[in-house]
A and B are shown apart, each in its own frame.
Chain A
């Protein structure tokens, strides 16, 4: 079956008043509504001149029904979402989105929770959105189940009559940590299993909170999914590399690099390329939207980008090796270690402990080699 075009308008509305009507009923002034639209426009990374178009669309928008499924994940994505500041996630979830199932956030549990999911699917057949965080195990179904239902079975059942699917976090989008070599559960991404519905990937470990809400807001506002890149990520947030939008980029261009985390370059805030920053090959909006209500992002805090919004970032070599250094396949290392036997691991462990103890004794400053794991 041909994958539907994500740009096609999708009807996901429930039989409820429009957002404009709801705000009017709550006594929100037009100024308040315009302010809300300004925040939404910024949230969706649209140009400020789009506020009037957003206001026009939002006044007619209706609440979409959302079913949120969590599979092989750490709840970091939900943690990220519930710390979203703009607009407050409470208003987004409770006011603008009908979140009908989210087994971490909902009050109902057990059979009542599953009944809520089935009721939402039935009431909004063909119109609801499915948000997924976590990857899915293709190995033993028992690796991850909810209410005795395997992840794959629950995804297939829920997606069958969905309008679209949003894969939140690198696990759902690309397999993430569960899929890291040697992928013990046979984990796959949502996109590997869902071929007949539009799938939007919102990767990151976790994704930036406002990027999650921004995609939902885009859907709420325009009734369609945003424009996507070749990996299914919204271009408005993943169109630029971290490197291209990094305030330290100017130092890269001047050839000024931190060589270690405590040298002059590090203290002066120079480029972190040589200490392993993956910014040049990572597409995300951390450099502009930042984290914790816009307070900072890893590079601003002195640590290189890990590349968490790119596929297989766990297996892309050391977080502290420059991109220019060759990456030894993890499989080769693992095979070597197995062949050499457990003694190698024990020896390496002793060596590391010895080095650390020696460094403590001589008060040596930690260097890159201390951050590397040789076993």
Chain B
């Protein structure tokens, strides 16, 4: 049985059905190149994440991709249930791939040029979390807003 391509976890490859008594072998056309070794690396990184709770990342810029290989990797990993757009010093796109725990992260500068691209193997990428320094600044700004608002109320009274 093959995966339903309309589901969010879609990557266009046939995958074995865990409920089937005789699973269909994985069909793929990964061939030569970087994709299969990368998938092995991702598999091991997921193993470490689950077993030891240790996150890791792969800088895709250091990969000697052949023409079209990067987009093929993107297709193979597919899209999962979560995607996010971060707007800080240009846009950053993040999405969980069809393999939960594997996140594709693309950073762009304000001119839209890609400045970094990585796969993060983690529960949730750090850059998505609110940062303590920003939270501290937010608290101060809120307190200042409340102080000014309080003074205005006092003046009106």
Interface residues of A (CB under 8 A from B): 28-32, 34-36, 38-39, 41-43, 45, 47-49, 85-88, 245-248, 250, 269, 287-289, 293-294, 296, 300
Q: Does B28 contact A (CB under 8 A)?
A: no
Which residue of the partner chain A has the closest CB to B34? A247
B64 x A246 contact (CB < 8 A): yes
With A38-B116, A85-B109 already in contact, 18 other A-B pairs whose C-beta atoms are closer than 8 Å: A28-B88, A29-B134, A30-B133, A30-B134, A31-B88, A35-B86, A36-B89, A42-B59, A43-B116, A48-B59, A245-B64, A246-B64, A250-B33, A269-B67, A288-B63, A293-B114, A300-B66, A300-B67
Q: Are A48 and B118 in contact (CB under 8 A)?
A: yes
Contact between chains at A34 and B66 (CB < 8 Å): no
Contact call B86/A288, Cβ cutoff below 8 A: no
Contact with A along B54-77 (1 / 0, CB 8 A): 001111011111110100000000
Q: Is the CB of A87 within 8 A of B56?
A: no
A49 to B126, CA, bound (A): 12
List of 4 A-B pairs having minimum Cβ-Cβ separation, nearest first: A48-B57, A30-B131, A247-B66, A32-B88
Which residue of A35, A45, A269, A289 contacts B127 across the interface (Cβ within 8 Å)? Answer: A35
B111 part of interface (Cβ distance < 8 Å): yes
Of B34, B61, B64, which is within 8 A of A42 by CB?
B61
| Neighbouring A residues of B65 by C-beta, 8 Å | 247
> In this assembly, does B32 line the interface, its C-beta being within 8 Å of a C-beta of chain A?
yes
Taking a contact as CB atoms under 8 Å apart, the answer to whether A38 and B118 are in contact is: yes
| Cβ-defined contact, B131 with A86, below 8 A | no
A-B contact count (CB 8 A): 96
Pairwise interchain contact B86-A39, C-beta atoms closer than 8 A? no
Contact A88 B134 (CB under 8 A): no
The residues of A that contact B34 with a CB separation of less than 8 Å are: 247
Q: Which of B33, B59, B127 contacts A247 (CB 8 A)?
A: B33
Chain B's nearest CB lies how many Å from the CB of A36? 6
How far is A38 from B106 in the complex, measured between Cα atoms in Å? Answer: 11
Please measure, in the bound complex, the distance between the C-alpha atom of A28 and the C-alpha atom of B109, giving whole angstroms.
13
The CA of A250 and the CA of B131, in the complex, are separated in Å by 44
Given A35-B107, A39-B107, are A47 and B59 neighbors across the interface (CB < 8 Å)? yes
By a CB distance below 8 angstroms, the chain B residues around A29 are: 88, 131, 134
CB distance from A269 to the nearest CB of B (A): 8
User: How far, in whole Å, are A246 and B134 apart by their CA atoms in the complex?
Assistant: 43
User: A30 contacts which chain B residues (CB < 8 A)?
Assistant: 131-134
- In the complex, residue of chain B having the shortest beta-carbon distance to the beta carbon of A32: B88
Known: A31-B86, A35-B92, A88-B111. A294 touches B61 (CB 8 A): yes
| B interface majority secondary structure | mixed
Instruction: Annotate B104-144 by CB proximity to A: 1 below 8 A, 0 otherwise.
Output: 00010101011110101000001100011110000000000
B127 A294 Cβ-Cβ under 8 A: no
Contact B107 A288 (CB under 8 A): no
| B1 → chain A closest CB, angstroms | 34
Central interface residue in A36, A41, A43, by most chain B CB within 10 Å? A36
Query: Which chain B residue lies CB-closest to A247?
Result: B66
Contact call A38/B107, Cβ cutoff below 8 A: yes
Interface string of B3-42 (1 = CB under 8 A from A): 0000000000000000000000000000011100000000
Contacts of A288 in B (CB 8 A): 61-64
Q: Which residues of A contact B88 (CB under 8 A)?
A: 28-29, 31-32, 35
Contact B131 A42 (CB under 8 A): no
Contact B126 A34 (CB under 8 A): yes
User: Would A49 and B57 be within 8 Å (CB), given that A88-B111, A247-B69 are in contact?
Assistant: yes
A324 CB to closest chain B CB, in angstroms?
A: 23
9 contacts between A and B (CB under 8 A): A30-B131, A31-B86, A31-B134, A32-B89, A86-B109, A86-B116, A269-B67, A287-B64, A288-B64
- What chain B residues lie within 8 Å of A34 (beta carbons)? 126-127, 131
* CB–CB B58/A48 < 8 A: yes
With both chains docked as a complex, state the minimum distance between the C-beta of B90 and any C-beta of chain A, in angstroms: 8
A41 to B89, CA, bound (A): 16
User: Within 8 Å CB of A88, what residues of B?
Assistant: 109, 111, 113
A114 to chain B, nearest CB (A): 34
Q: Which residue of B lies closest to A249 (CB)?
A: B64
In angstroms, Cα B132 to Cα A316, docked, is 57
> When chains A and B are docked, how far (Å) is the Cα of A43 from the Cα of B114?
12
